[in-house]
Amino acid sequence: MNYAVFAHSGRQYRVSEGDIVELEKVDLPAGGEMEFTEVMMLQRPEGVLFGRPTVQNAKVTGKILAHFKGKKLIVFKHKRRKNYRRTNGHRQEYTRVKIENIINPGK
């Protein structure tokens, strides 16, 4: 089974072809193509290929399926004995991407 580890928005993701990944929101329309060039590691039949820090000429391509919001988080601030209380909510925006192809530099 081939897989790759790539970096996007300060996070690293381990993916195989056909996987669906949820990333922080990307400003591209749904149905569009996306390309990740910061590939840190490739696992392929010939062996594992590590980057220093990235694997040259390796790419992971995917198709944007949808944009959506995550679950609501409550942010509560208070200071004891001062009658100070503030409640806020936050919903992070995400993009769902289907991984279509892992481009191998050796091929």
Contact 68, 94 (CB under 8 A): yes
Rounded to 5 degrees, φ, ψ at 72 are -75, 135
Contact 39, 52 (CB under 8 A): no
Domain of residue 78: give its range. Answer: 3-103
Contact 29, 37 (CB under 8 A): no
User: Burial code of 15-46, b = ≥16 C-beta within 10 A, e = fewer?
Assistant: bebeeebebeebeeeeeeebebebbbbbbbee
Residue 107: what pLDDT?
A: 59
Number of domains in the chain: 1
pTM attached to this predicted model: 0.84
Name the DSSP class of 27. Answer: S
> pLDDT tens digits for the chain (107 residues)?
789 999 999 999 999 999 999 999 999 999 999 999 999 999 988 889 999 999 999 999 999 999 999 999 999 999 999 999 999 999 999 999 999 999 887 65
Residue 104: what pLDDT?
A: 84
